[in-house]
Structure 1
């Protein structure tokens, strides 16, 4: 009898071990019936004593999470219409895979690694030609997570491999040939010996094309060079690190000094190296170096020589690069179509490099006597947010040449209406013009010419709330109003993401309605005013919303309850500095899909009991940010750690007496990568930074305040003892008279802004910087 297709539809899988058990068993021990509903309580040794195991499992979950069952149960096989199917698998491997499918922990040893690997290959079917091997540190300091996944299926989590066994498996890998594996992710594996890992990649993954090594500070350009020589098929490399916190336009540097003398790269390629690169068919097309503040101009020159086929480069936050260095890379890499340079020194020289013809700066023999157009003409992605070194004239010239652009970020730049009017492209899908002085008319002009626009970000654009009155711009604007702009967007686009502020109101929501029925993300910033009516209608107009971020809006229990009750797909919810009378009633609706919650100065009434209720209704959070919850105390730490043990990010600021008695329970959240504790009580010990870095293996970012130090000061870990920690920020309250850290000489002056000590670690330097942040 065919079964239904509901989420609760069960199917019985009868698994027989192809190798009969050589054990003394009675007839009653031959078969056993179990169910995935009580999978955590399975007694595996007892179950494995049976020759045949019948398992009741959810049909849809098997289909969605296994390519094998997807083909068997949703294809043309006769089994697709049955309530009971029979398979022959290794029982232990089959039960382990079921654990993975149902997100349960799995103990992996060197003894069962091979059977699992073989079973994953079988379950992936012969049609699967690509797979991913992910090696990442789990919340336990002595564990490594192996994940093998086939294309289009969820990962098989082979978890909790004991650290002592890890060397056994790594030694075992070179004897195996993962022919199908094209992507390997070693991100967040600080203990991995990269030189040995590269040898392993060369032997075990002959088809390797994509390597993700984010947050590995020891992965230098020289390591990249060795990688591409050993693995010539690699075409994509991701070496992302955390972006430095001192590059924002909201801070100014007071003093800065390197704790370790920078070791500026001095790499060179000889003729033999170049010949071997070309002969190997080297084809790195996508290179991500975001946040690498240890990257210098000499590194770019080196990269431009051995990455001859580079098409995509991400240099966001690479603060040590100069405009001349970036321009040099742009001149050499003539195949580039995607350039991401936000928060860098990208300036006039780089603009000239993009706008000039390739034949002007590339040898004729290198381009095979073919006259190429400028890079700007062929650009598909340009992100240059906060690049204030580009003047209006250069920006206008650049905009006039880009005709194939799909994604453009010009936030916090000197963008003018003239530059928008000079744009001739019609393929834009993403536009970010936040915090610029553009007018309604200019934005409407650009939107009207790009009907495929899916993402529009224009927060902080004050001119969007005013009618144009400048006579020099009147020929362009015709006194466009906000309503006319929003009408144009509503007529032209089908948006998936929007971020607006000034000029955005309830009437705007009505005008935008045709364009936002499929909206997934919305951010309303300062100057926007949706009002209770707008927020109440939001779930009806935008039923697909996954992200809502509201700044300075008027909210109430009624509006929040409506959002929580009707937007079941919501993943991110943030209320920041909002007004209105709300209570814990707003958060009593179950939100199992919610992953990120930010409540900043909107819940001053929150108590420990309220926080517990929050853990019940939003049980699957990975990021939590609370600001101004002054009634919380030290017991809230245990509520947080027990309610959300898998938190990756915790931000607690001005939250009563949370840290008055020190920090203990929060350190039980072993997956923590980002920890901010400020103004929560002076109970942090001098050794807190070292203790946190020691107990939290994934911890990368820590933000503290001197006023919370029990002894008025913190011990700073040595460079070699910092574990995975890459960024440390220690703020100083305005009430404090001076910094007590001996290696910083703060100037004696009246403090207008908040003074913050920032330590930024990378592979070669430790920079200790004092900045002034605007409050």
Structure 2
């Protein structure tokens, strides 16, 4: 009320700014900025990060934002994001006796927005260009935010070396630059090396226009500050660039390479020259064991190693790493077909600090290798086994026995793992918080019941297409895992109303639920979920033939926080049910449904949140 504004009269600007800086979400900050003009001004003053999409006119948006936000240090422009100006408000109704036209009664801001919208929609080719950030937009960002430190230009094909050079000349405080998918050339990158002497992080993934010339110029210019480099799918960036990195970038800590043009020579140059290297991610088919023998000798500080699709990497290289990289904590092996149990054993015996292991599609790694991990790596907290057909129950028995700190376990298509393994994990790893199992057909009620009885801290459980899991398993989880927040039992056809009801009664903190393809689930489950899980945000119940509008109505009347709902192939759900979801859930953001089930009125009311299953092919 006017005259009773105790907050604005009593709090100075500095204190309100401090409050804004402690708000951890953008929607909360936006809501606070709507309180009054003073709060709007202070919120703009305090904001440090901007994210700009590609739709509408990013060049124009960049210019407008530079006038409103004065202390921005991080800008993210991503062609994959969508951003559109709001539609202009309807014209104000004229009062009787007023001779002013309706156009003159509209506000200046709406008039400007309307002109901008009309300008953007006119002209086919011109409009296509305006829907992607160009050099003009980059220059506007540079002029408007000369003090930015972090800049991401993701998949912006119309940004050239001219725009990048202009930005580098103005924004000399840049510390992080992400040019993923941009077609900038050597001249732009050379300018960054010449003017941005504080650059620490550089991402050049999918920058097809670059060659060794531009990369080397940048490396020479930023040698004293560069700590992280990423290169992928750049056919003209070769070992010469890596030799320059190894010779000059003594502070380098992170290297990501995905290239067929990189060989042992380039990797060895970086490894020998950059003794502070902590993270190494490689997908280089022409790198062999010879390079990894040098990694083991020189990378004593290495903490993270990820190797993808290596064709010339064997147990010999693994043994070198295990012998020399004693501080290794994170290991990922993906499609490394020539690594066997011997190599994993060497890593386990030598790298006892391991906390995370991911093995994906390494078909020669079996039970013995993982048993060595269980015996030698007591600090393991995360384990991912994907498409590991040769790993059996005794491997997870050893993990349960030796890795008491395990919190996350992912199993995908591991045919040799069943209830015995799950019981071992449940009894040994009582701090387990996340368990994700997909298409492990030997896992059934017995293993999941053990998890429910022993793992009281479980927050995420996924049992997708484990067709031996039934209601008894979920009853145990409902009784024992009261902190459960996410549950996915898609495709577990033995689960029905009894199991889902047990979850509804025992897991009040549930926010995400996927019960799709469950033919025994009906309205009774949805009613119980509405009563017991008021925090539910995401619901997937596609292919549930016995769910109807009645159950859906009961659920949405109680679950007011619902944001997404997938309801395709549910014959009992009609247009009335879809309308109920849209009208009852004020936070709803996405509804996936067949198009023919949506009424015209629902489309008018909530067309932007409706997604349709393509059925008209």
1:246-645 matches, within 5 Å, as 265=183, 267-269=185-187, 274=190, 277=192, 280-288=195-203, 292=206, 295-298=207-210, 302-306=214-218, 308-309=221-222, 310-315=226-231, 318=233, 321-322=234-235, 324-325=236-237, 327=239, 329-334=241-246, 335=249, 337-341=253-257, 344=258, 346-347=259-260, 349-355=261-267, 357=269, 373=272, 379-384=277-282, 389-390=285-286, 394-403=287-296, 404=299, 405-414=302-311, 415-423=313-321, 424-437=324-337, 438-465=339-366, 481=368, 485-500=370-385, 501-502=388-389, 504=391, 507-513=394-400, 515-527=402-414, 531-532=418-419, 534-535=421-422, 538=425, 541-551=428-438, 552-554=440-442, 570=458, 572-580=460-468, 581-582=470-471, 583-585=499-501, 587-588=503-504, 603-607=518-522, 610=525, 613=528, 629=544, 631=546
Deviation at 1:682, TM superposition (A): 8.3
Once the two structures are TM-superposed, the CA of residue 449 in structure 1 deviates from its matched residue by 1.1
Q: Which structure 2 residue ranges, 5 or more long, are not aligned?
A: 85-131, 472-498
Q: Distance in 2 between matches of 1:508 and 1:299?
A: 47
Q: CA deviation at 1:406?
A: 2.4
Distance 1:400 1:567, change over 3 A: same
CA contact (8 A) 2:33 2:39 kept: no
CA contact (8 A) 2:66 2:145 kept: no
Cα–Cα, structure 1 residues 268 and 431, in superposed 2: closer, same or farther, change >3 Å? closer
Change (3 A) 1:638 1:208: farther
Q: Give CA deviations for 1:529-554 in whole Å, capped at 9, x if unaligned.
A: 55446545646643444432102155
Deviations along 1:207-251, one digit per CA (max 9) or x if unpaired, are: 43223455767666665444333211111134568xxxxxxxxxx
Q: Which moved more, 1:181-190 or 1:571-580?
A: 181-190
Report if aligned partners of 2:165, 2:192 keep a CA contact under 8 Å in 1.
Answer: no
Deviation at 1:419, TM superposition (A): 2.8
Decide whether aligned partners of structure 1 residues 268 and 455 sit closer, same or farther in structure 2, where only a CA change above 3 A counts: closer
Q: CA deviation at 1:333?
A: 3.8
**1:288 shift after superposition:** 3.3
Preserved CA contact (<8 Å) 1:378 1:402: no
How far the C-alpha of 1:113 sits from its partner, in A, is: 5.7
Relative to structure 1, the CA distance from residue 491 to residue 505 in structure 2 (aligned partners, 3 Å threshold; closer, same or farther) is: same
Q: Does 1:235 align with 2:122?
A: no
In structure 1, C-alpha distance between the alignment counterparts of 2:335 and 2:389, rounded to whole Å: 10
- Pair 1:577–1:269, CA change in 2 (3 A): same
Contact 2:349/2:372 (<8 A) preserved: no
Q: Does the CA-based 8 Å contact 2:377-2:403 persist in structure 1?
A: no
- Find 2:615's aligned residue among 709, 714, 731: 709
- Contact 1:573/1:598, CA 8 A, preserved across alignment: no
Within 5 A, what are the aligned runs for 1:155-234?
Answer: 170-173=66-69, 176=70, 178=71, 182-185=73-76, 188=81, 190=83, 198=138, 202=142, 205=145, 207-213=147-153, 223-234=163-174
Where is the strand percentage greater, Structure 1 or Structure 2? 1
Q: Does the CA-based 8 Å contact 1:301-1:328 persist in structure 2?
A: no
Deviation readout 1:376-426 (Å, 9 max, x if unpaired): x764333235x5x43xxx421221121323222224433432332243432
Q: Do 1:663 and 1:684's aligned partners in 2 also have CA atoms closer than 8 Å?
A: no
Normalized against structure 2, the TM-score is what?
A: 0.63
Cα deviation for residue 522 of structure 1 reads: 0.9
**Cα distance, 1:671–1:53 mapped onto 2, change above 3 Å:** closer
Question: 206-215 or 514-523, which moves further after superposition?
Answer: 206-215
Which moved further from structure 2: 490-499 or 433-442? Answer: 433-442
Inter-partner Cα distance in structure 1 for 2:184 and 2:61: 39
Superposed displacement of residue 573, structure 1: 3.3
Query: What is the CA–CA distance in structure 2 between the aligned matches of 1:313 and 1:658, rounded to whole Å?
Result: 54
Count of aligned residue pairs for this structure pair = 509
Cα distance in 2 for partners of 1:217, 1:590 equals: 51
Distance 1:529 1:222 in 2: 57
Quick one: structure 1 residues 219 and 664, their matched pair in 2 at CA, closer, same or farther if it must change by over 3 Å? farther
Q: Distance in 2 between matches of 1:302 and 1:638?
A: 61
SS in 2 for 1:325: coil
Give, in angstroms, the shift of residue 428 of structure 1: 1.7
- For the residues of structure 2 that align with 1:314 and 1:498, how far apart are their CA atoms? 26
Post-superposition offset of 1:166:
11
- Residue 110 of structure 1, CA deviation: 8.4
- Contact kept, 8 Å, 1:576 with 1:600, in 2: the verdict is no
Q: Distance in 2 between matches of 1:588 and 1:597?
A: 10
Q: In the TM superposition, what whole-angstrom CA distance separates every residue of 1:420-470 from its partner, at most 9, and x where no partner exists? A: 22434323221112444432222011121112211111244443336xxxx
TM-score (norm 1): 0.52
Cα distance change on mapping 1:331 and 1:594 into 2, 3 Å: farther
CA–CA distance in structure 2, aligned partners of residues 399 and 95 of structure 1: 50
Change (3 A) 1:397 1:114: farther
Closer/same/farther in 2, CA of residues 107 and 681 from structure 1, 3 Å limit:
closer
**296 and 213 in structure 1: CA distance in 2 versus 1, 3 angstrom threshold:** closer
Three-state SS of the structure 2 residue aligned to 1:401 is helix
- Aligned partner of residue 263 in structure 2, secondary structure: helix
Partners of 2:533 and 2:213 lie apart in 1 by 49
Q: Secondary structure at the match of 1:413?
A: coil
| TM-aligned CA distance change 1:315 to 1:168, over 3 Å | closer
* DSSP-derived class of the 1:399 partner: helix
1:74-107 deviations in Å (ceiling 9; x for gaps) = xxxxxxxxxxxx9845799599969957975854
Partners of 2:415 and 2:34 in 1: CA distance: 58
C-alpha displacement of 1:267: 3.4
Relative CO higher for 1 or 2, CA cutoff 8 Å, sep ≥ 6?
1
Secondary structure of the residue aligned to 2:365 is helix
Check whether the contact 1:380–1:406 (CA below 8 A) recurs between aligned residues.
yes
Distance 1:89 1:672 in 2: 37
Please state whether the residue corresponding to 1:452 is helix, strand or coil: coil
Give the Å deviation of 1:269: 2.2
Q: CA deviation at 1:305?
A: 3.4
Tell me if structure 2 keeps the 8 A contact 1:662–1:683: no
